[in-house]
Structure 1
Amino acid sequence: MRMAKIGLLLDEQAAADKWTKQENVFAFYIREVLDHLGIPYQILSNQTDSLKEMDLLIAGLLNESRQSLDGLLSFVKAGGTVIHLSDSPKLASWAGYKTESGGNGYGYTPKDLGHPKPLRFLKTNTWYKGAPSGWNAKSGFLVSGSPKGPVLSELWTVIHSGSGKIVHCQADIPYSIVGIQQGIEPIWKDGEPAPDGTAGIDDGQLKADDSFTLDWSFDRAETETGMNYFSEAHADKWREVLVHKLAEMALEKGLTVPFAGRWPEGIEHIATISHDSDFNLEESADITLSLLKECEVHSTWCMIEPGYERPLYERIKQEGHELAFHYNALELENGLWSEKEFKRQLQDLKSKADLKTVYTNKNHYTRFEGWGELFEWCENEGIQVDQSRGPSKKGNIGFLFGTCLPYYPIAWHTENNRQYNVLELGFLTQDLNHHALADTSVIDPFLEEVKRIGGVAHFLFHQLHFLEQPKVSEAFRKLVKTARDRRFEFWTSKQIAIWERERRKMKIEGISDSGEPAVSGTVTGANAVIWVPVPKEAHWHKEAAEIRYGHLCLKKILSHTQAQTS
């Protein structure tokens, strides 16, 4: 099968017009969705003759001048397929539709994606001709407000023209992914607390969860012991919806859209443990090191000022753990939110622990302000991973930000919605069995959702609580055993960052008739996996194919020597 030539249209002039009006173009985040899976595509900055070279076009942002639209429609009439992810009122009018932007609700996605629960979206770009009279359960549909709200429309609206078609998404997928992961506005005030009193995030301290956009009533579940948690990785699943549709449109043309597996061959999902060294008691560090050795786990130690003495730092490093940064901007502890203070505390850690490079940061108390300032500070200091986007309260644990994937955040319109060069790797919960926090009943649902996504299950444990509350150590042992029973591999944050960045260097150049990928780029010390969607009715060897994103895919294992020399 031939690999589809995919164009991603993000019109430069249309984007500049929006930035001039101080509007965000979250459509630029489509690049991160594709890059995360190594899906080959070409950026198109305007609707030019280069469209003719494409098999599929993802329209993230259009220029709706007459000349530009004529070029797009010529591409469609000649047999091109457009997956349209914007509003584009003039294009809708050409197709005989009216447009309307709407607020949040829930999407019931295609059945073959296997999403048993609806997905929360934050915005619609509805094309309509009248009130919806029904929906196509196979392709999905949208409802307004609550999961049982009134039907808005089908998820995908298809407009045929000539021998091609436009497939318009009624939900704004990139806006919803960004909004769930990062919020829809900078953090300048406290968030709204849980109405049942389980998560008082309005505590006078600005922090990551003040920006969350899920719903307290509809998006939380409860364990058998009464623990409330956000149960669905909504943002990750919207990524799946887009990739599913892209592969589906290619297969209809007899083409394929190959993509890279997230982890090395033999690994399907990762668990990671981080610690925050609050109070810096060396006795608690001793207990933590003993527990980690007993469980054969290497972890990430986020160190807060003033930290430990040099011999203990050396022991932590010698036993295979990662030393990381725990930036303290908490006003109650005389912390300060500023780049100068961030640099000062980081340099103090490097000096005391004899570190040339620090890969990971997690902010104390998940302190967070504004939009992207923290990511800029990390970039400037060479920090490759931030872990600050996690829950601060007992009642908002779980998939609060809709993701369990390491991802590159997007900037605000003031920086032209660029991509920050720092991975975000949020955590699910902290200190299980702590007397004031969640118990171990959340372990199973958390691991099952991460396993389904193929992401990272990140659990935070403070060394202090291993010392003071033996039940927390018991919970850690249970977590490790349960995760290993489900074939999770334990990696440090640094390991995750190195793998993710190297994996993204691979470039899929093409696919042979037999489905063998040609790949350039390097992956160090492990075999990567490439997945190649194929028609379900084709006679492929069952042992070499699995269902991914709702499609039958050939599994191709690529050794790192192959990747280096292809």
Structure 2
Amino acid sequence: MRMASVGILLDKTAVERRHRYGLNVFESYIGEVLGHTGMPYEWIDGINDVVSMKPDVLIVACMDDNQAAAEVIWSYAEAGGIVISYGGLRPLASRLGCHEDREIQIGYALTADEADRLPLRCLNATPWKQANSGAYSVKPIGTVLKEGPNGSPSGAALLKFQVGQGFIERWSMNIPATIVRFQQGTGPVISDGIPARDGTGAVDEDILKADDRIALDWDYDRMRTETGAPYFAYPYADLWREKLLGHLLQCVASLDLTLPFIGYWPDGVSCVAMISHDSDLNIDDTAETTLKVLKECGIHSSWCMIEPGYSPSIYEKVISEGHELAFHFNALVEQQGQWDRAEFDRQYQWLKDATGLEHFTSNKNHYTRFEGWGELFEWCEQSGIGADQTRGPSKKGNIGFLFGTCHPYFPIAWFDEGNRPYNVLEISFLTQDLDHWNLADSSVIVPFLEQVRRVEGVAHFLFHQVHIHEQPAVAQALGKVVSEAVSRGFQFWTSKQVNDWERARRKARIAGVWLHGEVVVEGAEQLENAVVYVPVAAGSPDMETEMRFGVPCRKIVLNSSR
């Protein structure tokens, strides 16, 4: 099977016009979604380049909504191409016998292939309704629900139109923008968030934090464990990511082509768990206790250090026992901190001086302090910090997938920075200090691990050294996290390991597939045990396959050491 060519149309003129008027083009995040899987694609900078490049599949991310551009898209599909759109293509609605319905700012979607019928929360959906029978064959798939997961139907989630020899496939929801808003919030953090009515999530405490602009609903998107512990239950961003990728692969398969991609983790690693600590009170005895507990558990962890830190001998022990030292920026005004680049730099220099190290891979902000949209990522970039862990819960009642994801990802900037990608890998955390007398209990461990395993992400748990030391129940909860994770096939990595692996695998590029199925991968020489999946035709004889994103795939291991 020949490898499909995938083009993403991000018309520069259209993007510049939107930025000029203060509009974000989060549709460009399609590149990050495909980049995270290593699926090969090419950017198309102008509508007229579609004609010359002629990709097999054209993803329309951003273009001018005029008839001239629409005609190019139409002609491309008529000639046998497949067009994919996420809430766009307005000029083609009437031509396809449809009209655009009212925008649904918050909704839920049911997709036909969702076995357990889980409604996926979506943002800014614009369903098309069929105004008449039209001259073109159309297949509706799934349903968009207004407001809540039990809301009234308002059109199909996906419409597949046959146009000439090709297809136009339009999702009602802007999937890339939905993923961004789950992961990074509904907008810049400039004020407190809305608290939970049941008193479990008092985010309105006059401290600006990452969880003040979440895109989830306290009532619709939380579940409770058997002990009554509330938690955000589903990694919606990751599930939408799977929908986008699975649909793309199905489109490619319909052309009798293939589109290889790179597995999230090395061969033999199904998913990853991570433990991080925040030093906070900086008591040496608490560090000693934590080191002992970690040794008993047989894992390595990431230690985020806040000023004034531990004694130098503690840092030596942490490093010698295989753990990672990281930064813990303190912007709490009550503790003489401030949200300021100069203060970030000052504290980072303190950490270098205190430890004698010149570089740290990761940061997590104290108390998940966060302001604005991308300032923290800029500061990390400029300081050479490659990963951040700040995006996590600050309250007992908003633990779980409150940012819709457990995957490491590169965030996107606001329009004033051209919606560029930040060169900082975000690794959000799920909860902190389980079985602490004032926090969530350990009944959430298994639900968290099962959802993370479902989407092959990172199960990141935070435990403070002081609570491990002072509360035996917290230390026991850490041990329970480890035993439950290991029994499910998780491997424990540090933040540095996650960052190094993700960056290394993104350097690999799938260049092509030879006639007999050999995959050409460039830049993967040092990528040990990396897995490449090659989608194949269903029912391929004499071939062992695995299902990935809903399609059968042949598995290839690169640079195997097993």
Task: State the TM-score, normalizing by the size of structure 2.
Answer: 0.96
1:410 pairs with one of 412, 427, 452? 412
Deviation string, structure 1 residues 6-56 (Cα, Å, up to 9, x no partner): 000011111111111101001011110000000000100111244453100
Alignment partner, residue 79 of structure 2: 78
1:93 partnered with 2:98: no
**Structure 2 stretches lacking a partner, 5+ long:** none
Alignment partner, residue 564 of structure 1: none
CA contact (8 A) 2:161 2:169 kept: yes
1:221 partnered with 2:223: yes
Alignment partner, residue 13 of structure 1: 13
**Structure 1 stretches lacking a partner, 5+ long:** 562-566
Alignment partner, residue 172 of structure 1: 174
Q: Distance in 2 between matches of 1:322 and 1:56?
A: 43
Shift in Å at residue 138 of structure 1? 8.8
Q: Distance in 2 between matches of 1:487 and 1:226?
A: 27
- Pair 1:212–1:540, CA change in 2 (3 A): farther
Q: Which amino acid aligns with 1:284?
A: T
Q: Distance in 1 between matches of 2:222 and 2:140?
A: 26
2:502 pairs with one of 491, 500, 503? 500
Alignment partner, residue 399 of structure 2: 397
1:155 pairs with one of 142, 153, 157? 157
Aligned-partner SS, 1:197: coil
Task: State the TM-score, normalizing by the size of structure 1.
Answer: 0.95
- Taking the TM superposition and a 5 Å limit, the aligned residue runs for 1:163-242 are 163-242=165-244
Alignment partner, residue 389 of structure 2: 387
CA contact (8 A) 2:104 2:125 kept: yes
- Taking the TM superposition and a 5 Å limit, the aligned residue runs for 1:409-558 are 409-522=411-524, 524=526, 526-541=528-543, 544-558=544-558
Alignment partner, residue 60 of structure 1: 61
Q: Distance in 2 between matches of 1:49 and 1:419?
A: 24
Q: Distance in 1 between matches of 2:339 and 2:219?
A: 33
Alignment partner, residue 118 of structure 1: 119
Aligned-partner SS, 2:212: helix
Tell me how many residue pairs correspond in the alignment: 555
CA contact (8 A) 1:110 1:138 kept: no
1:31 partnered with 2:31: yes
- Pair 1:49–1:361, CA change in 2 (3 A): closer
- Taking the TM superposition and a 5 Å limit, the aligned residue runs for 1:297-376 are 297-376=299-378
Deviation string, structure 1 residues 472-522 (Cα, Å, up to 9, x no partner): 011111111111001100000000000000000110111234433110013
Q: Which amino acid aligns with 2:85?
A: H
Deviation string, structure 1 residues 142-165 (Cα, Å, up to 9, x no partner): 111111101111111122221111
CA contact (8 A) 1:61 1:86 kept: no
Aligned-partner SS, 2:539: coil
Q: Distance in 1 between matches of 2:61 and 2:107?
A: 21
Aligned-partner SS, 1:370: coil
Aligned-partner SS, 1:179: helix
- Pair 1:389–1:483, CA change in 2 (3 A): same
Alignment partner, residue 2 of structure 2: 2
- Pair 1:14–1:137, CA change in 2 (3 A): closer
Please, which moves more after superposition, 532-541 or 211-220?
532-541
Q: Distance in 2 between matches of 1:236 and 1:469?
A: 34
Q: Distance in 1 between matches of 2:139 and 2:440?
A: 37
Alignment partner, residue 45 of structure 1: 45
Q: Distance in 1 between matches of 2:64 and 2:226?
A: 52
Q: Distance in 1 between matches of 2:559 and 2:115?
A: 31
Q: Distance in 2 between matches of 1:402 and 1:516?
A: 36
Q: Distance in 1 between matches of 2:308 and 2:531?
A: 43
Aligned-partner SS, 1:271: strand
Shift in Å at residue 119 of structure 1? 0.7
CA contact (8 A) 1:525 1:560 kept: no
Q: Distance in 2 between matches of 1:302 and 1:380?
A: 19
CA contact (8 A) 1:360 1:383 kept: yes
Q: Which amino acid aligns with 1:77?
A: E
Shift in Å at residue 63 of structure 1? 2.4
Q: Distance in 1 between matches of 2:111 and 2:301?
A: 37
- Taking the TM superposition and a 5 Å limit, the aligned residue runs for 1:245-256 are 245-256=247-258
Shift in Å at residue 72 of structure 1? 1.8
Q: Which amino acid aligns with 1:59?
A: V
Q: Distance in 2 between matches of 1:494 and 1:248?
A: 35
Please, which moves more after superposition, 80-89 or 473-482?
80-89
Q: Which amino acid aligns with 1:258?
A: P
Q: Which amino acid aligns with 1:380?
A: Q
Q: Which amino acid aligns with 1:247?
A: L
Q: Distance in 2 between matches of 1:146 and 1:50?
A: 39
Shift in Å at residue 310 of structure 1? 1.4
Q: Distance in 1 between matches of 2:400 and 2:394?
A: 11
Shift in Å at residue 558 of structure 1? 1.2
- Pair 1:540–1:335, CA change in 2 (3 A): farther
CA contact (8 A) 1:114 1:550 kept: no
Aligned-partner SS, 2:228: coil
Shift in Å at residue 172 of structure 1? 1.2
Q: Which amino acid aligns with 1:495?
A: Q
Q: Distance in 1 between matches of 2:549 and 2:89?
A: 28
Q: Distance in 1 between matches of 2:462 and 2:203?
A: 19
Deviation string, structure 1 residues 374-399 (Cα, Å, up to 9, x no partner): 00000000001110000000000000
Shift in Å at residue 123 of structure 1? 1.1
Q: Distance in 2 between matches of 1:245 and 1:448?
A: 24
Shift in Å at residue 335 of structure 1? 1.1
Q: Which amino acid aligns with 1:63?
A: D
- Pair 1:131–1:287, CA change in 2 (3 A): farther
- Identical pairs, percent: 48
Q: Distance in 1 between matches of 2:413 and 2:246?
A: 26
Q: Distance in 1 between matches of 2:409 and 2:140?
A: 30
Q: Which amino acid aligns with 2:29?
A: Y
Aligned-partner SS, 2:277: strand
